[in-house]
Structure 1
């Protein structure tokens, strides 16, 4: 039998798919939605406009001609979601446009027509340009002298705020084939914490017409107080090889120090303090339809530039009393992007409606400080308002069947217990004697344990620990660093937080460690957890140390001492 060619089969499948899209009756058609991330920007800033179009109720794409009168489209991104809802294909397109204003004043974003539907107009207030930026990058290290080896240090800003995460990049340049071995050291600055991020990177780059091998090391620098901050220059100690005679010689190379001017926390800043270069939020997944008794997913993504995931607040959505919200642990991705830290947090929520009608899902909202513009901003997503259909009859029947099965199981369990009840006086007497014998065994074991159990002795941190390490971790709000500092505090070191909790004598410190565990698994408030940790460990951890005791003498000595 001759088979049809593959292109013909693909065309046949595509034809019937298009027919299904065109002639399908829309199950939950929604009008197009449009929103902006903020309504006040500077002339040299941008605003992000997001439009969501449901192709079940609207044919075609929106016209963007009216936007170009007062804005320039700097960037655009198009996302497409396809799902099967009630046997029909639901296709939704989400478009994001990055707009730069062409004039100052109040600009109205006109209604955008999509087929026969139009979006609501929006207003944006464009302020004058921001003050000329302070030069926030250090001058590059000159490499025109043809040096065979040198050190370069760079930060992503030299005018950070207190507690702002600053990317610090250290690079060692050396000509290929001249380095034998060595060690690159970077000392801690006074008034700031410096933490190494990730592993060293190796690459080859051209400098001044020559190829250099480069070792790159990245750090996270967090200033702790305002004023002048000096980061000492790095030092490389090793051995090199002559490029012509092959002789070996010692190397001791120093890098230039960096000076930063740390700005204080503004008086108008909100708490908790969250300084960032940028913050983006978006819905990764939203429900198409709702029904009582059936959970649907809602996924939110946050991308923060200039921070780690531990510094971001906990992502949550609210649904009131009409639905239950079950939050999954967040998925975190910390990386360095353009020599600065960038954190991406994705969290999925399961929404379970409990009654029919209209359900409003309140989106998360994050207040942050724009370190570039010097103003407070609010990042938020539009709330979701959805219609909830009544539960199916099969669901209720299934619940009744489940209850009946539970009753039957309980009856079987009761019958099984009655078979164990003794009959007659002798049976009851034997049962009583057995219980008395078991009670005597338990009482004897408890008395022996109380006699041999050592009295707890509360001790301060052991001499070998570094109490400042925990204080530094608490100061920079880094949950991962706090866990590492706590596990390294006792001697010997603890394997995990469960071992730390077992050694702590202070109930408040144990409660703070429990809160830290919940925050790490996404079941707690990071801000409240950090406050509890600072209060509980203000004077250092208090350990429970077992008192030394002699082994009990079970038998008298064979040869008594004289």
Structure 2
């Protein structure tokens, strides 16, 4: 019984509190109005929505306006008034609208924080042409009204004004499902029209449709303030009297056709596609020396991002190190030009005839509506073997030190024998014995000098290898690719005792080591890349140290102990 009474009492209290809350809370009053009615076609109208309390800017719902109007912009302001102890709070929303069509349009009820305004009937009438020139004109044009998917459209807008503008802005054209980018800078000129002088601002856009179908390319909107008179106050801080104006050009219908079913591969719609290449040097190709091949792909009426990556097969006769491709999009006259530039370092690895392969790009001709192929013919070049010069001179990279060692070495002892006549016969026996003794002593000295002379030559060779290795080691520690490329052949010539080693390719061939070849190919890949790539010579240093140790043990002479009993 008590439980039932308590439940009924609680329910009654909740009902009472609900009634009290409902009576104490009322939806705000929302009043909507426009600054003029009717309006002319392409003329903006200002819609003002006032609410009798402070509300957030997010409380305004403008979605119902999108059906018949373009929203150019809006702002929010708040106001608080206290009169005779009564406080009034007002939030005011100001929206700039542009009608999408002629006739009677309805501005629907606007909801703000639960309150609704009353709908407004707005008359939009066609602009009358009375033969008088307009103060502000917006003109639009396109290169083509029927295009293929991803085919770039050249869009041009021209703003003409014959009044004094204090400030102004021009929006970007809009196309559903398309990429719109401004090309270049604005161009300013002057033009006479109907006896009035206009200042002209011309702006160009590249419009790339991303979907096929029928679309409307909406015109940019100009909004600004024109000077209509000077302030009456004669003061330094006086401002000009201005009037807010809005103007736009004609919308353009655009038809975007899909990719033909007969087309296979990378889609490239264009009016013209060309391939061009350049090879440097043009003559004198040598094994191991890099050849730079630059290929340029040019297309009209597309963006550079649409150009394909070039495909080619160089085979096993060369090593190829490609640079990062460069892309550009520009305007020449009324044509939009896109370019893709691919550059690569080609290093022949054997002499004879070497073929730089053909390059081809398939594309769709938007004029003839046919599949075409741009081709770059193959090039055949003659590669000479690296020159090997036989010489007994020390490597030219270390002339000063090696010459110094050569000059400092002692020449072989030369002994001159003189035949002196014997004046006295009785001394013949005595001098004959002394002559024989002297001859034996001299022969012994010559025999002793033969060993040190060989040792000196061996030391000179060892010093040359050590000096070359020391310089190469410094370059390896610093990972200096250019120095390594110069110093490695010098050390190889001294280490292997082959004076004919002059180039890096000859050094690789002389060592015939797979690990060394791979490490130097990695060094080349970093050297010929346009974008600097981090490279560490630690691995190459380990390989060269290993080769040096192996060659050192092989080249060391084997000495035997002299016999104790001569």
The two structures share one fold, judged by TM-score above 0.5: no
TM value normalised by structure 2: 0.43
Which structure has the larger Rg over C-alpha atoms? Answer: 2
TM value normalised by structure 1: 0.43
